[in-house]
Amino acid sequence: MGLGSRTVRHEPNPDPGITGIAAGSCRAPTRRPGVVGRDHLVKRLLDTTHERVVVLSAPAGYGKTTTMLLWDEADDRGFAWVHLDPLDDDPVHLLRHVALALHELEPIDPGVARLLTGPGRPVDTGMLPALGRSLDGRDPFVLVLDDVHVLTSRAALRCVDGVLAHIPEGSQLALVGRSVRLPLARRRLHGVVELSSADLAMSEDEAALVLRHAGLRLGDAAVGTLVGQTEGWPGGLHLAALALTGRDEAARAAGFSGRDRLVADYLVEEVLEGLPEETVDFLSRSAVLQRMSAPLLDELLEIRSSGRLLREIERSGNLFLVPLDAEREWFRYHHLFGEMLRARLRSLDPTTADRLESRASAILERRGDVDGAVRHAVAAGETERAADLVLRHAVPLVFEGRVARLGGWLELLGADTIDRYPSAAISWAWFGLATGDQQLIHRATAAAERSRWDGPLADGSPSLPVAVATVRAMTAPEGLQGVVRDTEIVRRAGGPAANPWWGISTLLRGTAFSMLGELDRARGLLTAALPAVAGAPGFEAAVLAHLALLHLYDGDLAEADRLASRGLRLAERHDLEGVVPVVSVYAVGALVAARGGRPAEAARAAIVARRMLARLGDLSPRTVLLCNLLLAQAALALGQRAEARALADEAARARRREPSATHLNLQLDRVRQQVATGSGGGSAVAFALTSAELRILSYLPTHLSLQDIAEQLLISRNTAKTHAVAIYRKLGVSSRRDAVAEARRLGLLDGEPQSPR
């Protein structure tokens, strides 16, 4: 295909249920009139199809995105554009963003979309493999990650590496940004094309075209002077063109210097000096927003002229106002230009800068942009308000598996806020709960308890002691008796109408009494909790599961089956397989199905429960004890005594850290006695793999090496290898590829559904 031709595209496909991502951030940018063709660069890129990775790395203003757009126009393949922003430093958001961009080219499988959008999905072992499967059989494409420098977290960079591992032959990943932190040394062995600022710098001929389009007629010597002084920096040449218009152009060109950071600040100031005062004021104040529209700016600046001013700025040829959609409703400033404007406003009028940041935070909060609201509140110096915003959304993020987002907000607040603001302390505690960091939970709750705050909190907690007690009841640092004490603190603070934690604490209290053997008391609490948690699917499903278990203890299998099935349907409808706290729903479902003579259904629920237990780790001993006990009982009901023994051993290890669960301990002793006196059993792999082996198995479909997997799980390579060998033996295979295929066939991994032998 010749340079300058255009790929024929289909209309964008409907959003596959991936929300929270601006549609314009997944589409090719609009080509502006007068863009200089970079034919030599485009030809070079067209000749790279045999390379897997293309890197365009250069400072702001080097035309990286424009070069990619020209390549897109000249290439037969489809281009999936992902315009990154700070939200994408969360790997969950990043993968959903990538999926939506790929969906613009060709619809992704609904099952893959469901997995990607479901709460609590693990990135390495769930979302990445699912995305990889959706790429099988696609026509060759180029996936563009623009502004890749905003990715700074190890998790996000590892996610990009994982996406690359799934890019099919004939397709490419293009990384475009000011810098690329992704380790490329190993990738260079397999093919990486790298273009830097030296490659993107404009020649004198290209510079002359830029200047001519701006209406300047400079001689060759003056053009050569500008190219030399700006070192070919396209952004500097555009700025120079704006600054020189209407002046003694040749003389001014001779006086430019581009050796001190390409004199970006000086050139931009030259642009502002030539503009009307109204425009300069508008530019300075509007730059508070990273993305802007006329209505949003009118609200922020309390004016009615934003639309007119945006049109005038765009018509003036100012290339630093970048349209984000074809309709030209949303814009942003060139990054360098916007940074300069914000710094200038803060230097000249810090009071106005703080006021606008504060207004922007409030406006974005009303519009549902919590991330923007938090960032602007921090920029305004309103750290306490930002902490309240974070706390208001901390628990939903934890239970949706969006832990990286919460961590990013807490990093913005600063680690010192744990001791300064109770809202921040409670948010840090929830973050510790989500990441399994007991030390952080203890530090955060201790800091909160030292606070003298005596009012309600942003998350709706009637008081600080209630918020602390809720976290402690979830983590149970002092065992079941501690759960009983902490839930009483929460429940005394008010009923469900005034206390958002009453229903959850009543559920936790009911499960604690059930584990202690006070079954009638547990039934009353769980029955009372059910209407209070309606509308919170995870908690509602958990209540149904524990009520089903009580009916099972009573010998009422029919009612237990009805309640357990209702809980499982609720979990499936809301896609809760990735939300670890609902593991008991699947463990109870496995036992009820096994007792009801439905082995396939029991195996399916057991598989999900085992995967969730593997992710839970050591955070909640009482949950590990309960669920392994239930799965051992299910295995016994199916005649699988060897598997029941392994599961009972797992439960026994958890019992050492939760010895007070007397009712569970009696049941565990009974199971172990049945195993010891029984005669053999079946060999269903769903029960045969240990939790440690399931953790290793979940990583086998990924691009990670055994050493990488060991590092992720904080174990030695030898331990990882031992578990891998055991997995191969139990699955009856001899290679990693065959292990993945067999595990998918059995339903042990996301992918092909389980089929009977």
pLDDT in tens, 129-171: 888 888 888 899 999 999 998 898 888 998 998 899 889 989 9
Q: What is the 3-state secondary structure (H, E, C) of 401-467?
A: CCHHHHHHHHHHHCHHHHCCCHHHHHHHHHHHHHHCCHHHHHHHHHHHHHCCCCCCCCCCCCCHHHH
For 619, the token pair is 């955070």
- The span from the CA of 750 to the CA of 743, in Å, is 9
Strand partners, 292: 331
Rounded (10°) angle between helices 464-475 and 479-492: 150
Strand-by-strand arrangement of the 330-333 sheet = 292-293, 330-333, 321-323
Residues 6+ apart with CB under 8 A from 355: 380
Cβ atoms of residues 469 and 487 within 8 Å: yes
In a 3-state reduction of DSSP, which class is residue 502? helix
In a 3-state reduction of DSSP, which class is residue 236? helix
Give residue 210's pLDDT: 77
Helix (H) or strand (E) holding 168: none
Q: Hey, what amino acid is at 124?
A: D
Low-confidence stretches of the chain (pLDDT beneath 50): 1-12, 251, 255-264, 266-267, 319, 679-684, 686, 752-757
- The span from the CA of 260 to the CA of 309, in Å, is 32
Are β-strands 292-293 and 330-333 bridged in parallel, bridged antiparallel, or unpaired? Answer: antiparallel
Strand partners, 323: 331
